[in-house]
Structure 1
Amino acid sequence: MSIGSDILKPNNTLGFLLKGLTVVSLLSTGSYGDISALENLALSIFAPDRTSPARRQGKFVKCLTPIVSSVKFYEPYLSRNAKIALSSLFSRPQLPKSYLSRSGLFRVHYTTEGSDAVPTEDKDKDGIPDFVQEVASALDSAYVLEVEILGYPEPVKDGGAGGDDAWDVYLHDLGHLSTYGFTNPERRIGNSSTSYIEMDNDFQDPVFPTKGLDAIHITAAHEFFHMIHYTYYGRSGWEWWMEISSTWMEDVAYDDVNDYYNYLSFFFGHPEVPLNRYDGSHEYGASVFAHFLEERFGRDIIRRMWEEIGRRQSTSLRIWEKVFPGGWRDVMGEFALWNYFTGKRARPDFYEEGENYPEVRTEEHTSLPDSGQGSLPYLASVYHRFLPRGGSMDFFLSLQEPGVWKGWFVSDGEWWPAGTGESRMEGEEEVTWIGAVGVTEGNYGYRYLASYEASAGDTTGTSQQLAEFPLPNPFLPEEGKLVVRFHLDEPGKVSMEIYTILGRQIWKHEEEFPPGDGKLSWNGRNSEGKPVASGIYIYLLRYGGRSRKGKIALVR
């Protein structure tokens, strides 16, 4: 593709944030002033001699597909000097030798001379470097997994641009770019784009977290998935999800490599950042979102998300609202809960590899009374832990626009859903509030107040519990109902909710009661009237902003 070609057309938004440089909504606003940020960033990586030392890219970035994609699709708005300096991105590398993989699907281009030379070891004496054959074999394996087993479509063929109809992969030195590789979109065909892959020529550079054969394997799986992405959506706008899902695909293909562990701290250290941020670090740590989706809903959900992108041809996050069971709000709420149970807090009910993940950043409050407020952007979460070590406490929480939030309280190894709007909790000596925003735009406020319970410490007064413990516990449905008794000082609505141990609501009943003693009961069936299985469940009783919770054992 020549410089100045209009074959690739940009979409209406570009959300690119790398090294603190932001380029947003260039076409939708009609203002192209921020395109210089994209130019400077691309030049700092691909033509550092054209930028000042202060702007030169220095950190390792796992995959440069996002910036290559942005440069290619916004090429019409680049300055003439930038187009000239970045000309290598608009034409294929020229390498003298090539090898067709055993499947005939991939042509690997390489050289054995100069700075781009591949390792020349050839143990089988067939005239083809073993390194090249390893790359070809890894690509063939990626095709079998991603297309034949997982059911993704083949990438679009490029019409012989690399010499024949095989998909092309170019091996040259990328260590100086501090990246494993990237996939370069080339020509639009309908809603798709053709593309080719560029990978490092030896994977031995000190900057690489993973080296050698493992790096070959994960990069092949990662970049081939990008080629598939361009089949679904041949424009710019989904770069963050491309990186999340390709990093996840590496682990599907090579579960024992775990290169994504190297980036998890960028996500777990900043849960307050929107999920769709990409800055060269966050998106790779956020690949844990795809792991959550797979483990919670099954592996096919990732493909269904890409199919929806292909069907809608939109970059709106709202297109997945019906793909996710319960929509964004429920998914973000559960995701936030799973992210709490990692590291030393890991439990078998959550991430399979959770004990190897870092613990999410949590703001701790050790002195009462304590009050505060904050705000949280879309598709993000926040964690506040209150552990005053001075007796039981009262806790009050108020959420702006409660319909966008999904939250939890965690205490002493138990967790239960936080209320919406205003919530009040009594009698806990330690509690963590987890809040997640499950909408796709905006910022939303919250405030909290924690103080010692009236009956604790040197204070005076009494605190009456909302309800007694449920009886019987363990609960045998064949012998009767589970009953929770309570006392109300004023008339009001009381609700009783039953949740699975993973926080999924299976039953709820609300009823108006006069002042005095009352009771609610559960017969061991879900909201559809079907018997639930034996196991541990969470009950939650709510009244006037107050709540009582606990675990019950159901035995059949």
Structure 2
Amino acid sequence: MNFFRKLATAALVASLALGSGGVLAAGATGPLDEEGLVRSVTSLFARSSRGLSRASSDSSGSATASFSPKSASMTVLEAAVKWDELSDSSRDSLQNYMMRPTGTGDAYYYGDPLVHPVQTRNTTHFAIHYSVDVTSRHVVSNPTLDVVSTNGTFTAIDTTVANGIPDYVDKVAVAFEQSWSFLCDPTSFAFENPASDAPALDVDGRYDVYLVDLENGIYGITFPETSDPRISYIVMENDFNEDEFRKNEDLLIAVTAIHEFFHAIQYTMDPWEEKWFMEVSSTFVEDLFVDDVNDYVQYLSSFFRNTNRSLTTFNGLHEYGSALFMKFLSERFKDASDKTFTLGGRTMDVKMVLKRVWDRCKASGGENSVAALEATLTDTATGYDSSLSRAYREFMIWCFFTGSLNPSGNFPAPLLTNTNVFADYSSDVVYATLNHRPLGSVVRNSFFEDDDSNSLVRAVEYPGVTIGQSVNSYPSLAKQPTAALPQYLGTTFLEFVPVNTTRKELKVTFDGYDSAGWSVLAIKRRADGGADFEDMTLNAASQDGEIAVEEFGSQEKYVRVTLAISVIRAQTGMSRSYAYPFTFSATSGLSFERQTSIVEAFAYPNPARNGISTIRYNLMRNADVTLKVYDSRGRLVTTLLDGVNQDAAQFPAGHETVWQGLNDEGTRVANGVYFFKVQADTTTAPRSETTGKIVILR
């Protein structure tokens, strides 16, 4: 069968890169991009050179470090759940990639049946198919190595006796059976078993796992059946000792087994759930199941560098770092149902917040992970007494205190009492601080620690968030930030640096996009190494506010002030990848005016093409807009928009008006330099205006 010939040359190529089309649009829901979907799946299995890896990019889009893919499961899942919506030609193009490797009774899965016979290792719940043919690149790692066996229940390795099965296969068998027990055992998480493929597809009924050479760093793929995406099978790397992995084989077997098997459970519970949360969840259980691996750590640099991106971003990279949020929830909120589970001599934490969210995902069906998180965190029966926005903001503050910003290794432990949706972090909230625990030579590979943990924390060893913009010149008036703007459940950090040693008052005003819900938290870092927190009170309608920090100076109480600016409520109908604009002003010991209603205005193309140019301006609030064009001597040429005489006020967003290069009489203007002025009048702020230049060359 051609399937494995294609599968063995799998590589993650351009369709999986950030910003590509097809199935990986960040947090997006919308019309099916059929062409992009076909391209993504077929490109996944295209032949390419060994070692091709996924190129990441920072917020500016420039290339950074490359990472090998962990899993391509979400790509093939998208094809399966959209199967009935695809055209006949698209299904024909994808059929060979999406079909099960073998039909019932076919004993040959790896290409030429006369050359590559397949053997099967049956366990309690799994059928593991593998090759020991050394002429095949699908041969399992060290096929003749047989010094261990599995115990009777496949829950542990017996190192005292061989059993005629390659040790690699025995290790895979134990890893999957332990994964089943950890996730499905009634005394552990008690997730439901993955849907059985019997009798329609396999009379045996065991869950099928195929060991093949995936190449290019792909660990494993959980394939759904196109006839019913709740039924699945797993294809897994046959040799983790290859140079492309450079990690402990035993640990990577365990990580891949738990990651992909949880995908199988997710498919059964709700295959239509959001892909970002599926990857977050599978990555999170990795850390519970095999805490020593921390495979997700390699993705954290991108996550910390791009905190402005939505927590729900799914781009092949960001979601693995977002798994920290689930880890944060599991350690921040104490669930009475949390427990430990011992298996094969290992004791693992069972964090029930994950189970509670997935139960809600199944109950509602479809893309509802954000709603399920909100319902779980606000459920008073759990004792969490929080909300998604509140937990997210606290998570971002904990992320802030990492890397160089946390040399002592301690995290802030907030005692949140204020429930106001716009002011969870008010001045009356007390922030306790964990005792300083200096890093030693032995550290636990964990990110957030429980308050009562005796383990040493690793905050200093993590990348630290990127400060989007640093302000060290005052006054800074009505500025649009140069930092990347935040998306829904995204955060931009602005830092204010004193320019004097003597005491000054820092005053910052903020004006956010009206139709979104914002949170602005001031992190006031003290000279003694500690920090105080103050929430900016925002007007619920206009989303603007002001904060003043006394004793601000390089040798005063507060030596740095950082604003954590987050979008906690998206505009209805807006994509989660939309970047919401805001402006800010800052003074140190000086007075200043309120922000403008216009973020910026510019003309393009400039010089105008054939005398025609488009004037674009961004509004921060509802406004009556006047737009006029003047010549170089200041004489009015034309009025393009006439303020209050328009039919209705313009809403907060980007707007464009085309100037055809004509004056008010309809005559073409001469070549030369012209100026436009955009004026915005609102009922909630003073009149504001901005100007720009247009060059006419015909």
Q: Do the structures match in fold with TM over 0.5?
A: yes
8 Å Cα contact 1:402-1:420 kept in structure 2 = no
Match of 2:219 among 158, 174, 180: 180
Match of 1:397 among 487, 492, 509: 509
> Compared with structure 1, are the counterparts of its residues 440 and 91 closer, same or farther at alpha carbon in structure 2 (3 Å cutoff)?
farther
Q: CA RMSD in A?
A: 3.3
Matches within 5 A, 1:521-536: none
Query: Which residue of structure 1 aligns with residue 584 of structure 2?
Result: 448
Matches within 5 A, 1:8-407: 18-23=17-22, 34-48=33-47, 60-76=68-84, 77=86, 80=89, 83-84=92-93, 87-92=96-101, 94=109, 96-101=118-123, 104-113=124-133, 114-119=136-141, 120=143, 121-123=145-147, 124-148=161-185, 149-160=188-199, 161-162=201-202, 164-176=204-216, 178-186=217-225, 193-208=230-245, 210-235=247-272, 237-298=273-334, 299-316=351-368, 317-325=370-378, 326-344=386-404, 345=406, 346-349=409-412, 351-352=448-449, 353-363=458-468, 364-371=470-477, 372-374=479-481, 375-390=485-500, 391=502, 392-400=504-512, 401=514, 404-407=517-520
Q: Structure 2: how far apart are the matches of 1:418 and 1:293?
A: 22
Q: Structure 1: how far apart are the matches of 2:301 and 2:373?
A: 26
> Compared with structure 1, are the counterparts of its residues 36 and 84 closer, same or farther at alpha carbon in structure 2 (3 Å cutoff)?
closer
Match of 2:532 among 411, 415, 434: 415
8 Å Cα contact 2:80-2:226 kept in structure 1 = no
Q: CA deviation at 1:440?
A: 4.8
8 Å Cα contact 1:381-1:437 kept in structure 2 = yes
> Compared with structure 1, are the counterparts of its residues 286 and 243 closer, same or farther at alpha carbon in structure 2 (3 Å cutoff)?
same
8 Å Cα contact 2:520-2:563 kept in structure 1 = yes
Q: How many residues align?
A: 433
Q: Which amino acid aligns with 1:145?
A: F
Name the larger-Rg structure: 2
> Compared with structure 1, are the counterparts of its residues 142 and 132 closer, same or farther at alpha carbon in structure 2 (3 Å cutoff)?
same
Q: CA deviation at 1:59?
A: 5.5
> Compared with structure 1, are the counterparts of its residues 273 and 29 closer, same or farther at alpha carbon in structure 2 (3 Å cutoff)?
closer
SS of 1:320's partner is helix
Query: Which residue of structure 2 aligns with residue 528 of structure 1?
Result: none
1:97-147 alpha-carbon deviations (Å, 9 max, x no partner): 11122xx11111111121100021111442110000000101111112112
Query: Which residue of structure 2 aligns with residue 466 of structure 1?
Result: none
1:450-497 alpha-carbon deviations (Å, 9 max, x no partner): 222259xxxxxxxxxxxxxxxxxxxxxxxxxxxxxxxxxxxxxxxxxx
Q: Which amino acid aligns with 1:373?
A: Q
> Compared with structure 1, are the counterparts of its residues 70 and 402 closer, same or farther at alpha carbon in structure 2 (3 Å cutoff)?
closer
Match of 2:563 among 420, 423, 433: 433
SS of 1:164's partner is coil
Q: Structure 2: how far apart are the matches of 1:29 and 1:273?
A: 19
> Compared with structure 1, are the counterparts of its residues 257 and 59 closer, same or farther at alpha carbon in structure 2 (3 Å cutoff)?
closer
Q: Which runs of 5+ in 1 are unaligned?
A: 4-15, 456-556
Q: CA deviation at 1:28?
A: 8.1
> Compared with structure 1, are the counterparts of its residues 222 and 449 closer, same or farther at alpha carbon in structure 2 (3 Å cutoff)?
same
8 Å Cα contact 1:272-1:380 kept in structure 2 = yes
8 Å Cα contact 2:475-2:590 kept in structure 1 = no
Q: CA deviation at 1:274?
A: 1.1
8 Å Cα contact 1:187-1:193 kept in structure 2 = no
> Compared with structure 1, are the counterparts of its residues 449 and 403 closer, same or farther at alpha carbon in structure 2 (3 Å cutoff)?
same
1:56-102 alpha-carbon deviations (Å, 9 max, x no partner): 9995211111111112223342663774466132222525211122x
Normalised by the size of structure 2, how large is the TM-score? 0.57
SS of 1:423's partner is strand
> Compared with structure 1, are the counterparts of its residues 253 and 89 closer, same or farther at alpha carbon in structure 2 (3 Å cutoff)?
same
Q: CA deviation at 1:166?
A: 1.3
Higher helix share: 1
8 Å Cα contact 1:289-1:335 kept in structure 2 = yes
> Compared with structure 1, are the counterparts of its residues 230 and 28 closer, same or farther at alpha carbon in structure 2 (3 Å cutoff)?
closer
Q: CA deviation at 1:208?
A: 2.5
Q: CA deviation at 1:398?
A: 1.9
